[in-house]
Chain A
Amino acid sequence: MTLNGAAAEASPGSDTTAAELVRDELGLTGTKVACGAGVCGACTLLVDGTPTASCLLPATALAGRTVTTVEGLAGPDGLHPVQRAFAAHDGMQCGYCTPGFVVEAAAFVDRHRAEHGDTRPSRAEIADALAGHLCRCGAYEGIYAAVAAACAGEHDTESPLPPPRAEAEEKVTGRARYTTDVRPEGCWEAVLVRSTRAHARVAAVDAGGAVHVDLLGADRTVRYVGQPLLAVAAPTPAEARAAAERVAVDYRDLPAALDPAAAHHAGAPVVYPTREAQNAAPSNNEGPPLPGRWRGNLRGPSGFGWRGGTAVRRVKDAAKRGDRRLVAEVFRTGPQVHTALEPHACVARWDEHGDLHLHTSTQAVVGVAEAAAKRWGLPRERVHVTAEHVGGGFGAKGGLRVEVVAAAELARAAGAPVRLVFDRAEELTDAGHRPGARVELGLLADAKGDLAALTMDAYNDGGMSTGGMVATLGLLMYGNAPRRLRDFDVLTNRPPGAPFRGPGGAQFHWALEQGVDMMAERLGEDPLALRRRWDGNRKRRALYDWAAALPVWAERTRGAGTGRFRRGVGVAAANWIYLTDPATVVDLVVEDGAVVARSAVQDIGTGSRSVITDVVRTELGLPADRVRVGVGRSGWSYAPGSNGSRTTASIGPAARDAARALREEVRRRAPGAVSGSGALDPEALKSLEGTQAGGRRRRDRGGYLTPVALPGMGAPGRGLTGAVHVMEVEVDTLLGQVRPLRCWAGISAGRMYNDRLARNQCEGGVVQGIGYALYEQRRDDPVTGAVLTTNLEDYRIPGIGDTPEITVHFHEEGWEHVVGGGVGIGEVSTIGVAAAVGNAVHDATGWRPREVPIRPDRLLEGIGLK
């Protein structure tokens, strides 16, 4: 075949796909395989110029063809215009889907320009062209902008400006290397053998002579279909799969609790029968679990609030007298799966000195190193964790997970590097999920319309994991009226949950923010005005005022519409905490005439590289090519994990501190190299080779909420971030479909370190929230407990055509007490979105959705289609 312009020869086996040939045999790892079933588009190649799903194409079909991969898109004049456009408009976050998008978009742009000249295609045309591609980060707004601009001929030459994302060029060219792209010489492949039973004691496992590691706990019990039992390794993927198939497991079946609605009833099979087993249950949250009593499969309550007795009494009395100012409702959510496009993966190797080397797709490089050191009894510096690029995390890639444990153990047993990569079915079953919840809400207003009581009981459905924290989040909202907030876990023999972008927040806001809307209706008050009144915070009041002034809000028609297609506008507020990690350090050194920053921080698409790059460039007044940033190695300076909205607020100030320290060091060595404004002379850097300085994350003014940083949690800061989402939808009342048209996202989290990347992340928060509201639902078989949504066709994340036009507004004031002036936005930007959709659907139809996703059948039933 002709590959990227040159003749290429290969003799693939008949069972090889084109994607495997290109990646594994020819080493062109820009092409990614994310779903393996032709749904996500990450593996798209041009075959004779035509975009083609290479994961379903036998490699033999490439014989005699002309094949172009993302690596071959660039021409003699540099990058393809579409690659430049994706970089300039930041049409990416984690970058794992980017090669597929870029290849497809290149074909579309070339065709469009040939047929229509340099004109901008409509949003609908772009959506049609890219309908076969999925971006879990939700970078669709940037992608729309990039494709339109490339069609219009705006990127035919190199831009004089650096792209907003530091590593953009690596991502649009396929050079960015992810864990799944790492395959060292002599590397073995590992496969996990998983339970086929929802609940069983494992009497015996026969590994059939394979190199293996046992992964069962001390009680030799499996508690969900898909639980890892054992991992095997062999020199090739085919041999590893065959070895896994030879493993024989002797199960002694136990009755299983599969229905979260019935698992806490008397007589239901008990998931954790002993105290010991209960204590070993995995947590689906960050930090230590809240205390809670166990009664069979019910754990809890872990109660919070203030004047809880008053709150309960007021709600009960109001119910008794039929008070209209009481909103008493039950809301439901189901499990939402993180669905990062790069699956969980690890490549492990022990070197001749006994050091452990781990490439892994993680959002906690240091966390993995520390946990691995502890597990294998090594000093921390002898564990070397690398995560150069990470294809999304969203909370599911923290800590020392099974892929790391298995790969490292197998590498030791095999005496060879071992690679373990989840397939999509494993990813959608056993990589964690946002637990579902049944939330009983009581919201009472007094005669003046003030909040008189808030009660919330949340029954959290995290499968066989504990740690649900949904009702507890009622601490964060609407002043200090009496409230009782209780969280329960309902245990079942289903896969465990994991923290997911604002753990508990999406479930909590789905209930509370629709409840507040119902209250506004009862009080005859504008929903924004009510929120503004109940929420005394000045920063968030600025967001309410901004939202109230939006034409879509100010000019909306009141009351449900008529006719088949009905438009509605909904609003929802959200608050979140922010964390920082005071131990964060950024080190700078002058190397090869450039300032180089090195940090252990991982970049999971949220832009940590870019934050450090921007801060150092700006602080030292250096051009783009004089600042380089390396991230994702545990041996580099300490940085926290990417969770809890803490990364930027930790590394940004540390980078600035480091830049200032470096400037002083340079001033000391070569006073002439620092200008009056504090900029460094780029030319002088050559003679300053080796100059270095470190920077710390200094304390916020007023300190933190806790006297010291909490282990694994960091330091919770003073003040809550806020979001107000305004969503416009169109509902087809005949066929039950909800189409989000436009969304405005107002965010209060202080100064944005990198405006474009921050907007991109907030846009992605809207997209994920829409997925939660309308499409995403993990389904399990009611009889076997097996997860049924094991591919991206059945587990539905939003595509580009499902995305509304999104406008992001940052209210930056009010964070002057924070060093650096800004905090994290990852979580607050998504948790309220679904409720805004729910409120918009209600505004359009008069029907109140109480359960996500708002599927066509639920909507039609709700509005009374007979």
Chain B
Amino acid sequence: MNPFDYRRAEDAAGAAAMVADNPAAAFLGGGTNLVDHMKLGVAAPEVLVDITHLPMDEVEALPEGGVRIGANVRNSDLAAHPLIRRRYPVLSQALLSGASGQLRNLATTAGNLLQRTRCVYFQDTSTPCNKREPGTGCSALEGYQRYHAILGASPDCVAVHPSDMAVALTALDAQVVVQDAATERRVPIARLHRLPGEAPEHDTVLNHGDLITAVELPDMPMAVHARYRKVRDRASFAFALVSVAAAMSLGADGSVSDVRIALGGVAHKPWRALRAEEALRDGPATEERFAAAARAELAEARPLPGNTFKVALARSAITATLRQVHAEARGGDGHGGPGGHGEEQR
């Protein structure tokens, strides 16, 4: 790890200005991703602006019905917060499926959103990587591809975004509150992260010095029944092969009146499954339509030779999650038969 200047900002705008003024400066939140990258040589900031003491550590109900989450709220505190557990349990589930207790106790909401890919080539400074060093090439294209993207990738980058939390926030239509040196603005979460295109070095649309101060969740009654499902290689500490966050509301006749689906582990950004949502909305909630929705979303999938399995896995995971949230929305009592809710709990 290179030595760096350590500074503390007085307020959010001041912090944004301190970083904006210096291309070699970075914000320091929980540090779990940044310090790791500094040790690996992936990042070498000369100035770290500590923002952990700024008053951005509250979870509060908004007057119009939503919830505002301060950027510094620790992942473990957010997962355990009564407002979140009651109204947005999918967010708690996503958080608790990621990392480990000791990391969640450190990691912040904004840091989690802005964590960088776990692509092994990105993390290994001895290999070419367009995201780490633009123009050097993508080692994964000829390399090991099991964890890489099947949707929205480009010839320059096939990395995936690693956050579980961001997938849940995407299904929840969250707004990201961003402060720069002068003003505050809101960015819908679906537009925060980018697809790689020809500039994979940019994970998000934020400018250098933009500081995330909060995340706002809209009032969403169906979120009470939303669920997060993560498929991974090992029960302990593993990033997703594929993950799904989904919410569903049913009309009086039992048909799907509204639905939200987001996927993780499949793309450079948390993937909002708009095609699947479109295919499901305003129609009966049947197993066939769940499967058709999953198929519709993945019709555009372009897997790599080393990860073709992810397409079918993503379809299965979507279908299984829809089945589960449907049972929840219907008021499932947890005693469904085979394929029912009880079985899904495992």
Contacts and interface: CB of A to CB of B under 8 A. Distances in A.
A759 B241 CA distance: 35
A801 interface: yes
Interface string A816-828: 0000000000000
B207 interface: no
Nearest to B6: A14
- Max chain A C-beta neighbours (<10 A), residue from B100, B231, B309: B100
Interface residues of A, number: 66
B238 A779 contact: no
B336 to A, nearest CB: 12
A861 interface: yes
A58 B313 contact: no
B235 A793 contact: no
B35 A134 contact: no
B320 A735 contact: yes
B118 interface: yes
Interface in B230-270: 231, 233-239, 241
A229 interface: no
B102 A104 contact: yes
Interface of A: 13-15, 17, 36-39, 41, 44, 50-53, 56-58, 60-61, 104, 127-129, 131-134, 196, 563-565, 730, 732, 734-737, 739, 774-775, 779, 781-784, 786, 788-791, 793-794, 796, 798-802, 853, 855-857, 860-861, 865-866
Interface string B164-203: 0000000000000000000000000000000000000000
B1 A15 contact: yes
Contacts of B32: 38, 53, 56
B2 A51 contact: no
Interface string B194-238: 000000000000000000000000000000000000010111111
A14 B313 contact: no
Given A58-B31, A861-B309, A775 B36 contact: no
Given A53-B106, A563-B338, A60 B6 contact: yes
Contacts of A855: 233
Interface in B122-168: 123-124, 126-127, 139, 142-144, 146
Contacts of B96: 128
B100 A41 contact: yes
A565 B320 CA distance: 13
A799 B312 contact: no
A132 B99 contact: yes
A860 B102 contact: no
A782 B102 contact: no
Given A61-B31, A783-B142, A794-B120, A801 B102 contact: no
Contacts of B146: 857
Contacts of B35: 17, 56-58
Contact of B100 (A131, A782, A791, A798): A131
Contacts of B3: 13-15
A586 B313 CA distance: 59
> Which 8 A-B residue pairings sit nearest by Cβ, starting from the closest?
A132-B100, A799-B236, A857-B309, A53-B102, A801-B235, A15-B1, A15-B3, A788-B120
A791 B76 CA distance: 24
A793 B237 contact: yes
27 contacts: A15-B1, A41-B100, A53-B102, A53-B103, A56-B36, A131-B100, A132-B99, A132-B100, A563-B339, A563-B343, A564-B339, A564-B343, A735-B231, A735-B317, A781-B143, A788-B143, A790-B120, A791-B123, A794-B120, A796-B233, A796-B234, A798-B236, A799-B237, A800-B236, A856-B309, A857-B313, A860-B309
A13 B3 CA distance: 7
Contact of B235 (A802, A857, A860, A865): A802
Most buried by B among A61, A730, A801: A61
Given A38-B36, A60-B6, A865-B313, 11 more contacts: A14-B5, A41-B102, A53-B100, A104-B101, A131-B235, A134-B236, A735-B317, A735-B320, A798-B234, A799-B234, A857-B313
Contact of B237 (A39, A565, A739): A39
A784 B126 CA distance: 10
Nearest to A801: B235
A776 to B, nearest CB: 9
A743 B231 CA distance: 24
B52 interface: yes
A380 B1 CA distance: 41
Contacts of A51: 101-102, 105
A737 B237 contact: no
B316 interface: yes
Contacts of B52: 61
B346 interface: yes
Nearest to A792: B237
Contacts of A796: 233-234, 238
A734 B31 CA distance: 37
B31 A131 contact: no
Contacts of B317: 735
A61 B108 CA distance: 14
Contacts of A857: 146, 241, 309-310, 313
Nearest to A791: B123
Nearest to A855: B233
